[in-house]
Every structure is written in structure tokens, then in C-alpha cells.
């Protein structure tokens, strides 16, 4: 049975960020993820994880100036030194939280721009090597153009090709079921084909990005398929609750009891 990680950027937002850990644990989650921890001291996050017995499943490396529309620096040739500094910041939080994988966002650039492609390849290889020295995986996530118009990495095939070409043992795919359905469809076949390189999975309904089980995909089938494929990682719940986080947790009920005692980080 999948081990679900509550995404604290989108879920439990009825409370301040640092209070969401307690709420996730009370709801039965044993793992959490979020987009970015950088507004809070690493110790404060580590303390919440320890206090509520939660595993940190994932977070993103610094993305540049998010407020001004930046969505990562990896494909931006002139920003490599800033990316490198951001990776060190991310590693400080990784050490404090014990997270085992980090997501590197690509940034806003044309997917067919040769300079952006060269920059992205270099940044991905450098970052994977750097976080690998700390025993961590690096994951890359294709994101659909409806949610993030102009985002560089918008194709699962392109991500898979790069991961295959670089052949770095700790470089993996972040397979967001929601983005895959919007970008390509045929989600089950892609899960089967790409499973050997998948390092993290995320879920949300399509098209509204709400609770699993409320959209066009058979999410329960996909969760069972992850089991059939032997996926032992986390499934991040990266959805916007339609009408309150707790009120929308009916989908989680069949999985809740089995979250306790599941191993892995």
C-alpha cells in the first residue's frame, strides 16, 4: 500500500505552516512534503518532524525569485553560481530534516533553446553529483504548461531521456500523476515503462487538482498499480482540498491504518 506524504504547502493551510505538521500527524499521515522550507529555520522544521514522528519525503531546492515568477534556475545559463549556492542552502535543510531526495526545478526557458538545454544538463549533472555526496537522490519533475506556462521541463519523455543519458545512480524522475495525465495521458503505461527511474510520485485529481478520486482518473487503480509495480517510495498528496483539508480526507480512509509501521525514507 502506498505511503502517502501530506503536502503541507497545499494541505492543512487552515493553520500557519509550522502547525500543519501536527495536523497531518493527527489525520494519520506518517510523512510530509512541501515546496520550500526556506522561510523557517531548519531546526524548527526538524523539531516538528521529531515531535510528531513524521518522515520528510521531499522538498524543492531554492527556485530563484519565486515571487517574481521564477520557477528554478537550472536551465538559465547565467544563474549557475546562484544555483550552486542554493544547493548548499538546500543541503542544510536536508541535513536537519533527514530528507532523502530533493527536487531541482528547471526554470522558465524554451524547451528547444540549445543554450537552455546545455545549461540544464550541466546543472542537473552538477547538482546530482553534489547531493549524491551527501547520500541524497535528485529528482526531476515534468510540469504541465497549463499550470506553469513557459516551464522548461514539460515532457516526460525528455526527462526520461536525460536521466537515461546521464546515467547517474541518484538521478531519478518525480512522477506527478496529475501532470502526466494532462501532458500525455496513458498514465498506467508510463508508470510501467518508467518505474525503474521513478524516485517520487505525487497525486491530485484531474482537471481540478483536488482530492484523489474526484476527477477523471481512477486514482485508486493507480495506487494499486504502484503496489503491483513494487514501488516502495512515497506518494505526495499535492492537491488543493476542495472544501477544507480534513473534510476531504475520505479518500485516505482505506489507506490510513496501513501508514503506521510502513518503512522507508
Ligand X SMILES: O=C(O)C(=O)[C@@H](O)CO
Find the catalytic residue in 216, 225, 238, 246: 238
Q: Is 210 in the site for Mg ion (CB under 5 A)?
A: no
Binding letters toward Mg ion, positions 165-184, x by CB under 5 A: -----------x--------
Residue number with CB closer to ligand X (182 or 258): 182
Q: Are 172 and 198 in contact (CB under 8 A)?
A: yes
- Signed CA dihedral, 87, 91, 93, 94: sign only: positive
Which listed residue (88, 95, 115, 141) is catalytic?
141
Residue indicated by cell numbers 508508470:
191
Question: Which one among 30, 56, 144, 202 touches Mg ion, defined by CB under 5 A?
Answer: 202
How far apart CA 50 and CA 30 sit, in angstroms, is 11
Nearer to ligand X, 52 or 66 (CB): 66
Q: In degrees rounded to 5, what are phi and psi of residue 32?
A: -135, 160
Check the CA dihedral 125-127-132-138 and report its sign: negative
Residue 103 contacts which entry, Mg ion, ligand X, none (Cβ below 5-8 A, type-dependent): ligand X
Q: Which 8-state DSSP code applies to residue 61? A: P
Using CB under 6 A as the binding criterion, the count of chain residues that bind ligand X stands at: 10
Nearest to ligand X of 29, 239 (CB atom): 239
Q: Is 60 in the site for ligand X (CB under 6 A)?
A: yes
- Nearest CA among 125, 26, 123, 17 for reference residue 74: 123
Give φ, ψ of 194 to 5 degrees.
-100, -5
Going 20 to 137 to 38 to 64, the CA torsion angle's sign is negative
47 is catalytic: no
**Binding test (CB under 6 A) with ligand X, winner from 101, 103, 172, 190:** 103
The answer to whether residue 33 is catalytic is no
C-alpha to C-alpha distance for 50 and 47, rounded to whole angstroms? 5
- Asked if residue 45 binds ligand X (CB under 6 A), the reply is no
Which residue, 160 or 177, has its beta carbon nearer to ligand X? 177
Chain residues that interact with Mg ion, rule: CB under 5 A = 176, 202, 238
Chain residues that interact with ligand X, rule: CB under 6 A = 35, 60, 103, 105, 141, 143, 176, 179, 202, 238
Q: Active-site residue numbers?
A: 141, 238
Amino acid at each position: 500500500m502506498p505511503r502517502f506524504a501530506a503536502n503541507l504547502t497545499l494541505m492543512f493551510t487552515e493553520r500557519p505552516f509550522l502547525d500543519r505538521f501536527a495536523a497531518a500527524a493527527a489525520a494519520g499521515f506518517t510523512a510530509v512534503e512541501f515546496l520550500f522550507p526556506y522561510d523557517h529555520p531548519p531546526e524548527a522544521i526538524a523539531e516538528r518532524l521529531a515531535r510528531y514522528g513524521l518522515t520528510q519525503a521531499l522538498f524543492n531546492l531554492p527556485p530563484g525569485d519565486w515571487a517574481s515568477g521564477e520557477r528554478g534556475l537550472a536551465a538559465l545559463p547565467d544563474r549557475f553560481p546562484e544555483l550552486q549556492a542554493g544547493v548548499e542552502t538546500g543541503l542544510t535543510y536536508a541535513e536537519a530534516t533527514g530528507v532523502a531526495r530533493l527536487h531541482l526545478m528547471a526554470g522558465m526557458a524554451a524547451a528547444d533553446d540549445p543554450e537552455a538545454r546545455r545549461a540544464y544538463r550541466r546543472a542537473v549533472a552538477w547538482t546530482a553529483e553534489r547531493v549524491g555526496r551527501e547520500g541524497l537522490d535528485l529528482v526531476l519533475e515534468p510540469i504541465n504548461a497549463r499550470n506553469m506556462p513557459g516551464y522548461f521541463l514539460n515532457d516526460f519523455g525528455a526527462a526520461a531521456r536525460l536521466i537515461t543519458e546521464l546515467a547517474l545512480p541518484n538521478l531519478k524522475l518525480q512522477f506527478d500523476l496529475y501532470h502526466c495525465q494532462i501532458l500525455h495521458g496513458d498514465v498506467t503505461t508510463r508508470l510501467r515503462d518508467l518505474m525503474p527511474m521513478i524516485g517520487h510520485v505525487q497525486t491530485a485529481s484531474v482537471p481540478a487538482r483536488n482530492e484523489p478520486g474526484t476527477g477523471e482518473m481512477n486514482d485508486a487503480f493507480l495506487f494499486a498499480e504502484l503496489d503491483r509495480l513494487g514501488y516502495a517510495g512515497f506518494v505526495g498528496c499535492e492537491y488543493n482540498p476542495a472544501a477544507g483539508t480534513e473534510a476531504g480526507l475520505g479518500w485516505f480512509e482505506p489507506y490510513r491504518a496501513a501508514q503506521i509501521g510502513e518503512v522507508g525514507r
